[in-house]
Structure 1
Amino acid sequence: MVLMEELRSRNFSLYAQWGGIISIILLIVLGAVGFLGNIPFAILGWIFAFVLVFVEVPLCIKFCPTSPRFDTFVSGFENSYLRAGLYMVMAIVMFASNAVSSGVLNLPAVFLLLTSLCYLVAGFKQQPHASSKVLGGTGVDNVV
């Protein structure tokens, strides 16, 4: 039921968070699939997925031991515009993998781009940042 409430909330930062989760899964899985064909970009995809896990899943930053420097870096992305920029840069890098070899890394690039656009819409609509209750966040209770 929680997920349906979040979908009905019309909060684009929640939509973007779920787009980010899909991007993480695609970066990991398709990075493994395309590893031999495009080693540098597959490794970059895994690094991006690692960073995005800490940006998108608030529970991870609480339970996983990380350095204060990394925590400061991740906490800097509370603004929708900064998150949109992060996702846009990652999407451009993944689209650049197509210049080296056409492969499966274009699909995560598309989801990174869509997630970036959702964060931009959330910023333009001045929607407060919210994170899914399913992923250890606050949900829509304090947003709606």
Structure 2
Amino acid sequence: MDKIRADNVNRTGIYGQWLGILSMILCFALGIANIFTFHAVIIVFSALCLASSFIILFVEVPLLLRICPTSSSFDAAIRRVSTNYMRAAAYAAMAAVQWISLVGGHSSLIAAAVFLSLTGICYLLAAVRGQDFVGSKTLGGAGVAQMIV
């Protein structure tokens, strides 16, 4: 019974990681969809949404840091986002940028803001509960990156 309870408690980080992947897909799709508008402010926030999708991709799929040729400063910046608190802060910052996009008018970027906020909340809950970050094996976590080296 205690093992079942412990397994349920440690799932918050995994939910955050999978919500992060969903947020990445949404940010990419909505960034492309909104970049073709004729409103300059929305275009800027769409570009920021696209940039967020690539940052999320490298944060949530650590295997890509080994595969893709990136600079050492970029790798160091992405590796700093390794704890649940740092992930929650990163997602909160990306969500805040998308919430600010509402100043430029109503657009579908609000969906990205909502999902980025939900992801940040999941990581914050995992951090407050004292859980260590546990990556999904499917996304390159739990020692997959070390097997390539």
TM-score scaled to structure 1, two decimals? Answer: 0.87
In structure 2, the partner of 1:36 is 36
In structure 1, the partner of 2:85 is 81
Hey, what's the Cα distance between the residues in 1 that align with 2:80 and 2:87?
9
In structure 1, the partner of 2:17 is 17
Contact 2:23/2:115 (<8 A) preserved:
yes
Hey, what's the Cα distance between the residues in 2 that align with 1:67 and 1:33?
29
- Structure 2 residue 104 is matched with structure 1 residue 103: no
Residue 78 of structure 1 aligns to a residue in which SS? coil
Hey, what's the Cα distance between the residues in 2 that align with 1:61 and 1:15?
22
Q: Can you give the 5+ residue segments of structure 1 that lack an aligned partner in the other structure?
A: 1-6, 140-144
- Per-residue CA deviations over 1:95-142 (Å, capped at 9, x if unaligned) read 111110200000011010000000111101111111111111119xxx
Contact 2:10/2:126 (<8 A) preserved:
no
Q: Can you give the 5+ residue segments of structure 2 that lack an aligned partner in the other structure?
A: 1-6, 144-149
| RMSD across aligned positions (CA) | 1.6
Hey, what's the Cα distance between the residues in 2 that align with 1:78 and 1:30?
26
Task: State the AA in 2 paired with 1:135.
Answer: L
In structure 2, the partner of 1:126 is 130
Hey, what's the Cα distance between the residues in 2 that align with 1:54 and 1:18?
14
Residue 129 of structure 1 aligns to a residue in which SS? coil
TM-fit CA distance, 1:8: 5.8
Among 52, 57, 66, the residue aligned to 2:56 = 52
Bigger Rg, structure 1 or 2 = 2
Task: State the AA in 2 paired with 1:28.
Answer: F
Task: State the AA in 1 paired with 2:125.
Answer: V
Contact 2:87/2:123 (<8 A) preserved:
yes
Hey, what's the Cα distance between the residues in 1 that align with 2:81 and 2:12?
16
Among 135, 138, 144, the residue aligned to 2:142 = 138
Moved over 3 A (4+): 7-10
Aligned length: 133
Task: State the AA in 2 paired with 1:82.
Answer: M
